[in-house]
Amino acid sequence: MGRSKARFAVIVMALAAPLVGARTASPTMPASIRKIFISRCMGCHAGASPAAGMSLDPDRLPASIQDKPSSGKPDLKIFDSATPEKSYILMKLRGAAGIAGSRMPLRAKKLSEADIQTIADWLAGIKPRDAAAAEAKKARQTGLPKLDHVQSSDGRDDRGQPIPRRAG
Ligand code: HEC
């Protein structure tokens, strides 16, 4: 790739950053998942003192559970943004071996595997901020950000600064 082409890619990235950043900050939650949290979880996981000290109000998800250690299994994270498939919330929904306490939702009909998989897919699609920053850093080091990196990063470097245009 020529110099001017590389510069063009960086300019495109700079222009795209505000849009991409907005999407990363508030990933859209499908209506079907919203409904599950509201009707199946919020009866206990909401309000001033939610069960396990954890609100599952969809307006605050996923930020409220992202990389938050479980109170029952502190070495596991409710939503593990680095390895979403290992998120403790999925183990609790499936009643997996090794969970503390009960399978969720407590004392109610369990979610179907299809619904659990829908939640798993949604979590897997949320780009962790750290990974996005690492990709942006790598792109700067190699000098040639690929467009798919541009689309998946939040346009900021590992210190949260907007990625500057390269001189020359
Ligand atoms: C009837 C009340 C009730 C409902 C409904 C309920 N929970 Fe819970 N939940 C609890 C209680 C009580 C605990 C703490 C004891 C335990 O872990 O078994 C808990 C714990 C959890 C934990 C572990 C938190 C931690 O810090 O370790 C997760 C994850 C969880 N619930 C997810 C859900 C999800 C997702 C739903 C909806 C699909 C749901 N719960 C529905 C009462 C409920």
Q: For ligand 1, pick from 33, 41, 66, 106 the residue to mutate: most ligand atoms within 8 Å of CB.
A: 106
pLDDT for res 58: 96
Q: Mean pLDDT across the chain, nearest whole number?
A: 81
Q: For ligand 1, pick from 29, 44, 102 the residue to mutate: most ligand atoms within 8 Å of CB.
A: 44
Distance 60 CA to ligand 1 centre (A): 16
| Residue in the structure block whose two tokens are 């998989």 | 117
pLDDT of 119 above 90: yes
Closest atom, ligand 1, to C-alpha of 41 = 37
Is ligand 1 within 6 A of the CB of residue 40? yes
Tens of pLDDT, residue by residue over 53-89, are 999 999 999 999 999 999 999 999 999 999 999 999 9
Is ligand 1 within 6 A of the CB of residue 104? yes
Question: Nearest C-alpha to atom 16 of ligand 1 is from which residue?
Answer: 101
Q: Give helix then strand counts, H and E, for the chain.
A: 6, 0
DSSP string, 17-70: HHHHHHHHHSPPPPHHHHHHIIIIITTTS-SSS-GGG----GGGTTTTTBTPBP
Question: Nearest C-alpha to atom 1 of ligand 1 is from which residue?
Answer: 106
Return d(Cα 2, Cα 119) in angstroms, integer.
Answer: 43
Cite the DSSP H helix spans in the chain.
Answer: 3-25, 31-36, 88-94, 113-124, 129-142, 147-152
Tens of pLDDT, residue by residue over 101-111, are 999 999 999 99
pLDDT for res 127: 75
Read off φ and ψ for residue 49, nearest 5 degrees. -130, 80
**Considering just the CA atoms, what is the radius of gyration of the chain in Å?**
19
pLDDT of 10 above 70: no
Tens of pLDDT, residue by residue over 52-63, are 999 999 999 999
Question: Nearest C-alpha to atom 12 of ligand 1 is from which residue?
Answer: 51
